[in-house]
Structure formats: structure tokens, C-alpha cells
Amino acid sequence: MKKILSKIGLVFALLIMVVSLGACSQSSSGAKRDVLKDDKQSNTITWGVKADTKLFGLMDVKDNRIKGFEVDLAKAMTKQILGKNGKARFIQVTSQTRMPLLANGNIDAIMATMTITPERAKQVDFTRSYFDAGQAILVKNGSPIKNVKGLNHKGAVVLGVVGSNSVQNIKKFAPKARVLQLSDYSQALTALKSGQGDALTTDNGILYGMSIENPGYSVVGGTFTKEPYGIATAKGQKPLHNAMNNALTKVENSGQYNKLIYKWFHNVRGFDMKGAER
Ligand code: GLU
């Protein structure tokens, strides 16, 4: 009898362990955590932003702060969601690391030049678009390549970044070219400048940022895709997702959005200011 009782006890203990382990893994994966509720409690939203992308999110080595349109928009949206004392915390992401960092709960949201695509929307929830970019190419001034078609020959090398959809898109528009993928945009630009490729491809806004710093390089041929940027949150975080969409509307309606567009883009040659305003 004693033996039976202790066996039942053991089975019961094991059952409790299994159930509690299951609960733990659920909360650590973020499935059951209400991120908006936690953010309200800590009065902080943790954003994943680029730190290698001038105009959108670029690390300023002078004060170790990331600066750009997306950083400012994230700050404005944080205040809409948490109130005027709400804090925005920024974590650097690259095109490759942004989705895993969100999935692991290291960041609450991605605002990092990320195009809303049906593929990505299977893994994350996107807000409506907060910026409409398009893919283009950057070449050295005087280059014989005048547009994406000029890259469609054997021997052409196009530079891009791992984890961006630009490296996939370019295969459709210049299928004969070889695509060399670097780990981030500063490395891709260094590769272009050292002659490792004929052109660098990504969104026009990002390329404009590079050409400001490097006047010997220009964006040519116009855009050949549509790249609407969305803010990504983890699946199952409806309250945060809704709060993001509402905050975006408020920032747009208050005129703050247009002020930020002006601040970051008004003296960018070739940038369509009117087209970007909301
Ligand atoms: N918007 C494109 C993308 O989401 C290119 C920019 C980037 O690498 O973030 O992949």
C-alpha cells in the first residue's frame, strides 16, 4: 500500500513539473506575456533600430547615441503610448538580427527600414506603413551602369546585405548578376568603395544617406520596387500592435510626422518631400 502511495506521489510530482515547465517556456517565448502591459509598468518601450543606416538610424560615435528619422518617430510614438514621461530604449539590430531579436523578446518592436512582405507577415505583425521607400542602386559617379538593367549581365557584381529583401528582389531584376551579401550597410558601402562590386542595392532612402556622406556616389535609375516600411511586433501581441497603429495616426495627425520628415530629408537631393508627407 505504502509503495503504491509513493508511486502515486512520484507521478503527481512529475506531472506538476511538466505543467510548470510548460508554463515557463510559454512565458519566456513571449506567447503569454502582454508586452504592452509590461511596458506600461516599466514606463519603457524597447525598440530595435538600425545603427548603420544614416537618416533612419545611425550611431553617433561622439555621444554613443543612435540618431535618425526612425529613432525620432519611435520616441514620438512612445510618448503617445506611455505618456509624456514614457521612455524609449534602443537596441541595435541589423537586417539579419531583427526578426530573431523580436522572437526572443529582446526587443518589443522593430522599426528598422523593414518592408512589409507577406512572407514576413507570417512570422510577425506589421502596423500599416509609416514610410514608403523603393529599391534602387548606388554607383560610383561616372559608372557605365545607369539603371538596374545595366547590371543584368554575367560578370556584374551587386552588393547587398544579408536578411534584406533587396538581395532577393535584385535576382528578379538582374538575374545574370552575381549578388555578394555583406553583414550590414557600412560593410556593404566599404565593399563598394573598395571596388568589390559594380553597385550597391537597397532602398532609395538608405542609399541617399550613403550618397550624402559620399558625394562621389549617386543613386541612379529610380526605384524598381515598392518597399512600405512597417513596425513589427511579435504575433499574439494585439494590444501593443493596436497601440502602435493608433500612436502612428496621432503622430501623423498632430503634424509631428511631417516635422520629422522635414528634419531628416529636406536637404536630401532627389528625395520627394511632398510624396513623403502625410
Ligand atoms: N526594406 C528592405 C528590407 O526590409 C531593405 C532594407 C533593410 O535591409 O532593412 O529588407
| Ligand 1 contacts CB of residue 184 (under 6 A) | no
| Ligand 1 contacts CB of residue 115 (under 6 A) | yes
| Ligand 1 contacts CB of residue 161 (under 6 A) | yes
| Ligand 1 contacts CB of residue 125 (under 6 A) | no
Instruction: Return the CATH fold of 34-132+228-276.
Output: D-Maltodextrin-Binding Protein; domain 2 (3.40.190)
CA 100 to CA 204: how far, in whole Å?
A: 25
User: 95 CA distance to ligand 1 centroid (A)?
Assistant: 6
* Segments making up each domain of the chain, as ranges: 34-132+228-276, 135-225
Q: What is the pLDDT of residue 269?
A: 85
Q: What is the pLDDT of residue 9?
A: 54
Is the Cα dihedral 164, 166, 171, 172 positive or negative? positive
Q: What is the pLDDT of residue 31?
A: 52
The residue whose C-alpha atom lies closest to atom 9 belonging to ligand 1 is 113
Q: What is the pLDDT of residue 17?
A: 47
Give, in order, the Cα–Cα distances in Å from 207 to each of 112, 201, 202, 203, 253: 15, 8, 7, 6, 28
What digits encode the pLDDT tens for the residues 79-114? 999 999 999 999 999 999 999 999 999 999 999 999
User: 26 CA distance to ligand 1 centroid (A)?
Assistant: 30
User: 202 CA distance to ligand 1 centroid (A)?
Assistant: 7
Give, in order, the Cα–Cα distances in Å from 139 to each of 15, 243, 246: 63, 40, 39
* CB of 255 closer than 8 Å to CB of 263: no
CATH fold match for the domains 34-132+228-276 and 135-225: yes
Q: What is the pLDDT of residue 3?
A: 56
Q: In a mutational test of the pocket of ligand 1, which residue from 69, 162, 165, 186 has the highest number of ligand atoms less than 8 Å from its CB?
A: 165
Low-confidence ranges of the chain (pLDDT < 70): 1-31
| Ligand 1 contacts CB of residue 164 (under 6 A) | yes
User: Does domain 135-225 correspond to CATH entry 3.40.190.10?
Assistant: yes
